[in-house]
Structure 1
């Protein structure tokens, strides 16, 4: 039986009916509204070109959407420990890998909901140019790669952390370290700058978006920039599958058994 589906259904009910999901989504929509209004104002004043405006909103939607998904995954195991509900979950007739899979699906549901909320904002800014469809499809592909990879990383950190505060702090610091380089006015030039851009899954993903949406490159021209997000997905997935039975436990850390 696909018991991970049972876990996923329960986790999604807890996330959305419990109020955390709608609250995070409301905060996301408020932030995206403010960014879209500021972007539209700069567009009207000719401070931004329309392609740049669409690219900016797509990147913000991806960044914040991945952030809220990571926050849910960071709470996945360590939060259950602190609330005293992990023991009953471990006693349920489901494997620990199924528990991790179900929690991953619940966290990713928040990313897809956030992306759905961003669609009208991208449409408003992209009216008049044949860019909306491409921007949304690219944002969905790149954002989903980043969300899947970072949700996996978040669950690993959550399972290994001794407290929920530690798990959340580490995940937010990690996300800050990954997104900060994308906000720098200029990356270092030469091979060092290119290496830093390519090894960081977030900067490589956003660079790919900019190359297609702003620079007008063909979709296939810069596909190599999606290597880092793909590698993150694969590594996080393998680690969860291999270590899942050992790290999903009532205390943080890896079991010696």
Structure 2
């Protein structure tokens, strides 16, 4: 992505109080008009369509199983949506280096913190688009047991928290990686290492397992969603499980704010000045 003076004159950029919006706007155009966003969103919708069809056509589904179907669909939507957000943010800086567009971006009168904030905001639009696609599927599966609204609110609150934390982490990995392939590989490895323990059903039922679940931002978020949707627990009863994703989001955002001027470089680990 390169901000050109033909699209945004220097005087106009300098006069704006939120230069990050300029970066975010251009990044969103690259993501959505360029074709990557619609393609990823289409694949996401195909996956949810297949899951919803299989769940909705199961005539043997009882009251509890229908709640579990909503829970499963929401967890898949959250996991895949976060994955797509992480991949976009992991490409944000290292990808620009390899495509040779980062230098042009650095020559524009936009602060490097604004560049970081704009790129993260653009990556988050993919998560919000995934959320918008997922809501109708949750409504179809949950309308019989009146959990569709609860599932949508959980997706918005918990999902956005997780997506923000891992999206910011992907941006940090992208800034420090020597190549785009390395950035994407490390980001996928991090996501898989966080997601794999969530596939062990009995993990939160043991002492050590509960500690591991609480320390895992994805595992703790998915466990909290399951407790609310399937176990009928109140919203505040297991709220402590959201400590991990909240701490990750806060820590990553703080690091991006503090290190923003230093992590946007033409070469990883080498100053561009």
- TM-score under structure 2 length normalisation: 0.90
TM-superposed CA distance for 1:255, in Å, is 4.8
Residue 168 of structure 1 is matched in structure 2 by 184
Match of 2:227 among 211, 217, 226: 211
Residue 45 of structure 1 is matched in structure 2 by 60
Report the Cα distance in structure 1 between the residues aligned to 2:193 and 2:82, rounded to whole angstroms.
14
1:230-250: per-residue Cα shift (whole Å, max 9, x none)? 000011011111111111100
The count of corresponding residues between Structure 1 and Structure 2 is: 256
In the alignment, does 2:69 pair up with 1:84? no
Q: Match of 1:216, SS?
A: coil
Contact 2:204/2:213 (8 A) holds in 1: no
Contact 1:247/1:254 (8 A) holds in 2: no
Report the Cα distance in structure 1 between the residues aligned to 2:267 and 2:76, rounded to whole angstroms.
36
Report the Cα distance in structure 2 between the residues aligned to 1:116 and 1:188, rounded to whole angstroms.
30
Task: Give the alignment of 1:47-62 within 5 angstroms.
Answer: 49-62=65-78
RMSD of Structure 2 on Structure 1 (CA)? 1.6
- Which range is displaced more, 161-170 or 243-252? 243-252
Contact 1:246/1:254 (8 A) holds in 2: no
Structure 2: tracts of 5 or more residues without a match: 1-16
In the alignment, does 2:175 pair up with 1:153? no
Structure 1: tracts of 5 or more residues without a match: none
Report the Cα distance in structure 2 between the residues aligned to 1:45 and 1:217, rounded to whole angstroms.
25
1:77-115: per-residue Cα shift (whole Å, max 9, x none)? 000000000000011101111001000111000000010
1:192-233: per-residue Cα shift (whole Å, max 9, x none)? 111100000000000100000000000010110000000000
- TM-score under structure 1 length normalisation: 0.96
Contact 1:3/1:98 (8 A) holds in 2: yes
- Which range is displaced more, 180-189 or 91-100? 180-189
Report the Cα distance in structure 1 between the residues aligned to 2:135 and 2:269, rounded to whole angstroms.
40
- Which range is displaced more, 123-132 or 100-109? 123-132
TM-superposed CA distance for 1:183, in Å, is 1.4
TM-superposed CA distance for 1:190, in Å, is 2.9
Report the Cα distance in structure 1 between the residues aligned to 2:177 and 2:84, rounded to whole angstroms.
19
Residue 265 of structure 2 is matched in structure 1 by 249
Residue 137 of structure 1 is matched in structure 2 by 153
Q: Match of 1:49, SS?
A: helix
Is the radius of gyration larger for structure 1 or structure 2?
2
In the alignment, does 2:134 pair up with 1:118? yes
